[in-house]
Amino acid sequence: MSNITRRDPLEDFFRGFFVRPVEFGGSATEAPQMRVDVKESPESYAVHAELPGVTKDDIHVSIDGPVVSITAERKQQSEQKDGERVLRTERYYGKVSRSFQLGQDVDEARAGAKFIDGVLELTLPKKASVQARRLTIE
């Protein structure tokens, strides 16, 4: 005689979920790369950098001629309640940075930055190019 047992597939799924750790792949300690879009117009460059979870006080931008560097830090805010334990953390906390060179020097005095909804927007006007001057030899 055969024994037939009814099993609920959802029960099996949840039993496995809570009993053993779930592996999603990747590493939580691996720093994600900052996603950046750079657009050029005749007068300026526009840069959009995704920085989710970062406050504007933790973002630093430096300009050195045509080189732009963006550094940001996402700080961990531990909020654990009594009787609660963390099973897995996949969000990255720490510093990320990105540097890139543009085709022309940036006018630092007229550059501007805004941070809205996790996106840093830079407006980087180009410096007026100086025409080469030919010297007359006397």
Domain ranges of the chain: 34-76+94-128
Instruction: Name the CATH topology of 34-76+94-128.
Output: Immunoglobulin-like (2.60.40)
The chain-wide mean pLDDT, for the chain, equals 80
Answer for the pair 101, 63: CB distance below 8 angstroms, yes or no: no
Tens of pLDDT, residue by residue over 10-56, are: 565 555 544 444 444 445 555 678 899 999 999 999 999 999 889 99
Dihedral angle of Cα 14, 16, 17, 21, to the nearest 10 degrees: 170
Provide the pLDDT for residue 99.
Answer: 93
Tell me which H or E stretch contains 10: helix 9-19
Contacts of 29 (CB under 8 A, 6+ apart): 92
Provide the pLDDT for residue 128.
Answer: 83
Answer for the pair 98, 36: CB distance below 8 angstroms, yes or no: yes
Provide the pLDDT for residue 109.
Answer: 92
Residue scoring higher pLDDT (76 or 71): 71
